[in-house]
Structure 1
Amino acid sequence: MTTPARKQRKLRTFSAFGDVRRMPSEYEIVTHAQNWNTRNGRLSTFEQNTSSPLNLWFLTYRENSPLQAGDWDSFRDPDQIAYRSYVNLQADEQTKLDGMLDSYSGADAGLSENQVALLGSVLTPSRYLVHGFQQAQAYVAYMGPSSTVTSAGGYANADFLRRVTMIAYRTRMLQIAHPGSGIGVNERQIWEQHQAWQPAREAIERALVAYDWGEAFTALDLVLAPTLDDVLIRQFGETSKANGDELSWLLSGLLEHDSTRRDRWTGALARHALQQRADNEAPLRKWIDRWSALADDAAAGLATLLGTPASDVVDSARSARAEFHDSFFNDVVTKAN
């Protein structure tokens, strides 16, 4: 007796996800396999000669990066941020920010001389550094080996742009409240010439020419941003609160939400790379060691502006960074054992 062949299950419109038995989420539907420069996990040449500069750039700095994975498409943003959810999330956050600014309208005039000097030397010049972060994040997103990486990087880029906008808005508010302070006038000179800012300036300028996408991702998202956000957001906020500036403390708390969400997806991507290939640990640790030295120098430089011992500032920032790195290195080692 011949057994009839089993009828093949009819494929659905979401069969690109494999033989799944569930409806993909909205995030998966709008994010999966959307990069136009990749096909089946490999470089899809641009509509140019295969040896054109653009194709060679991607081949050199993405396809041949030391950071490799068999399946980048299987990476998922832990927060599953898509366009609609991102717009709704940040609309709510902007409402909170606007409410804080309205509630503390006029409070800038009562700030102490020391706090005005802190704001003019740390907060307002930091827009140059954060703009550098934004540019580096845009590069990481553009070079991303899958659309899920590009999507997460794109929203992180938008977070940095929002932060630059907020700093610029606060700069103008402070300039109006304290017209003789130099705020709104001296920021570029401080960024380019003040000794305390030069290590941070060097770090981000070097990151902007880290063309290998794996190193660019590591430099910005695994080292520089986590380290300097601890200084420029958390520690700056606590110092401002101690100086009687509750508005700066509250605004720092809102910015910390963005940096924490960035740490979640970047940590998840590093974990994914390590789970895909154990030999990814070597380049990640090499890059982390290289960029951590620059990040620590930058933190030490900024410590002189916070009025806190450099060792305390650097130790705090280094501890936050180490805890972040342990979240993916140790997790992978534990699962492997």
Structure 2
Amino acid sequence: MVSTEKAPQSFPKPEFTGAEAGLLDFPSSTSRSYNYFKPRKLRATMYEDVTMDVQPDPERHLSQGWIYGFADGPGGYPKEWTALKSSDWHQFLDPNEEWEQTIYRNNSNVVRQIQLNLENAKKAGAYHNWTPTWARFVERHLGAWMHAEHGLGMHVFCSEQRSAPTNMINNAIAVNTAHKLRFAQDLALYNLDLSESDVPFDGAVHRSVWQEDPAWQGVREAVERLTAIGDWAESLFAANVVFEQLVGVLFRSHLVMQVAARNGDYVTPTLVGAGEHDYERDRSYTRVLFAMLTNDAAHSAHNKEVLASWLEKWVPVATAAAKALQPIWSQPHEKVVTFADSWDASVTGLRTLLDELSLDEPKGLLS
């Protein structure tokens, strides 16, 4: 007689060895909320969760070295790509806590606000209140500045963001890139909007101004020289600390933002103000990054020496670019600010920033 009883089934049992990650000691090994890094505060922020160690490092998690490399050099993200040194590049966290979602959310909010402002300006006929000299100033000089913003975004910051040694630094620079490209696009669309309005406005003259006007050739040269820097940290320092403070803020904040309203223009300041707000955020992460390096326990002296040499190199370039712009201060009909006052304000801003970075002012260069 055949038995109908089934034999008991057996299943392989899991076996754990000392190689399992669960036996390792992590900062939150004893916590019910597991994490493999130590957050700055009691609990990790969303920014930390989505950026920390997304770009791994052999000194932290890649025990067998980089998982990829280049044919003519070392793998991954070589520290030799900058002359600056850090005891731990991973100490940097973006004070703005930017990650993928914030990039889209913040920039979409800016674009939406600008579009509403332009629509309201057209409905109200706001451009008819402009003085003729101001319309000419906007078509020539604000249009020319569009090229500077695009050049910085596409050819300076965009190249930097691949080269930094941690994902946290690269994320911050990538957002900086997005800011510049979006602002350049804002200016281009504004130029198109004005060209299609029923007021006299030459929407194409900005090209010849950027390429030929003597007042802009110093800015053009400075931007082109910034694109040729090989050291990613030098590029970031020269652009965000020196050029932006002595030229960018000088033009955007201490000229356009100051004189637009007095010339009947209440639209342009909302647009340029968005660009200034972008720079405030970008300056914030830049300040934190370079302060980390100038206060590094092991490499502070070395880093200060390197940064001082970069100041000696780039302050004269930015100063020449700024002073070449001086003639455009006299072009608006209503002149509420002089070039000397604007220049003093920009120099004061740079001195404040250098003080925050524990760097000495380059002697004789900021006069």
Q: Does 1:212 align with 2:212?
A: no
Structure 1 residue 304 and structure 2 residue 311: aligned? no
Change (3 A) 1:315 1:9: closer
Matched pairs, number: 318
> TM-score w.r.t. structure 1 length?
0.85
Q: Tell me which of 93, 98, 108 is aligned to 1:81.
A: 98
SS of residue in 2 equivalent to 1:33: coil
2:95 maps to a residue whose letter is P
1:249 to 256, 266, 269: 269
Structure 1 equivalent of residue 147 of structure 2: 128
Q: Residues 219, 57 of structure 1: CA spacing in aligned structure 2 closer, same or farther, 3 A cutoff?
A: farther
Per the alignment, residue 104 of structure 1 pairs with 121
The structure 1 segments of at least 4 consecutive aligned residues displaced by more than 4 Å after TM superposition are 7-10, 12-15, 18-22, 55-59
1:14 positional shift? 5.6
Q: Deviations over 1:127-148 (max 9, x none)?
A: 1111111020112211112111
Asked whether the 8 Å contact 1:197–1:302 carries over to 2, the reply is yes
- Report how far residue 33 of structure 1 moved: 1.8
Q: Percent identity between the aligned chains?
A: 20
Q: 1:20 to 1:327 in 2, by over 3 A?
A: closer
Deviation at 1:227, TM superposition (A): 2.3
The C-alpha deviation readout for 1:92-112, integer Å capped at 9, x for no partner, is 222322222122123223311
**Greater Cα offset, 214-223 or 153-162:** 214-223
Deviation at 1:179, TM superposition (A): 6.9
Give the conservation status (yes or no) of the 8 Å contact 2:69–2:75: no
Kindly indicate whether the alpha-carbon contact (under 8 Å) linking 1:67 and 1:214 is maintained by their aligned counterparts in 2.
Answer: yes
Offset, 1:69 = 0.4
Deviation at 1:8, TM superposition (A): 7.5
Tell me, which stretches of 5 or more residues in structure 1 are unaligned?
1-6, 332-337
Larger radius of gyration: 2
* Cα 1:23–1:310 shift into 2, 3 Å: closer
Partner SS, residue 144 of structure 1: coil
Give the alignment partner of residue 289 of structure 1, picking from 308, 312, 316.
312
The corresponding residue for 1:278 is 300
> Distance in 1 between the 2:340 and 2:228 partners?
29
Give deviations 1:135-193, integer Å, cap 9, x for gaps.
Answer: 201122111121111000001100011101100011112212367543x2122211111
Could you tell me which amino acid in structure 2 is paired with residue 138 of structure 1? Answer: C
Residue 261 of structure 1: aligned partner: 281
Q: Secondary structure at the match of 1:90?
A: helix
1:123 to partner: Cα distance:
0.6
1:113 to partner: Cα distance: 0.8
Paired residues of 1:300 and 1:313 also in contact (CA < 8 A): no
Mapped to 2, the partners of 1:244 and 1:326 lie a distance apart of 38
**Could you say if the C-alpha distance between residues 120 and 70 of structure 1 is closer, same or farther in structure 2, counting changes exceeding 3 Å?**
same
Q: How far apart, CA to CA, are the structure 2 residues paired with 1:273 and 1:178?
A: 53
The 3-state SS of whatever aligns with 1:16 is: coil
Distance 1:92 1:179 in 2: 29
**1:313 correspondence with 2:342:** yes
The 3 A distance-change label for structure 1 pair 328 and 87 is same
Q: Tell me the secondary structure at the aligned position of residue 95 of structure 2.
A: coil
Q: How does 1:81-230 map to 2 (within 5 A)?
A: 81-105=98-122, 106-134=125-153, 135-177=155-197, 181-182=201-202, 184-230=203-249
Which piece of structure 1 moves more, 83-92 or 149-158?
A: 83-92
Matched with 1:334 is none
Q: Which runs of 5+ in 2 are unaligned?
A: 1-22, 331-336, 361-367
Q: Distance in 2 between matches of 1:293 and 1:19?
A: 41
The code of the aligned residue for 1:150 comes to: N
Aligned partners of 1:222 and 1:288 also within 8 Å: no
Q: Is the 8 A contact 1:133 1:225 kept in 2?
A: no
CA contact 2:215–2:327 (8 Å) conserved in 1: yes
Which residue pairs with 2:351 in the alignment? 322
Change (3 A) 1:137 1:247: same
Q: Could you tell me whether the CA contact under 8 Å between 2:83 and 2:306 is conserved in 1?
A: yes
C-alpha RMSD over aligned residues: 2.8
Partner deviation per Cα, 1:211-234 (whole Å, 9 max, x = no partner)? 111211111111112222212321
Distance (Å, rounded) in 1 between the aligned partners of 2:66 and 2:341 = 49
* 1:70 paired residue number: 87
Letter in 2 for 1:311: A
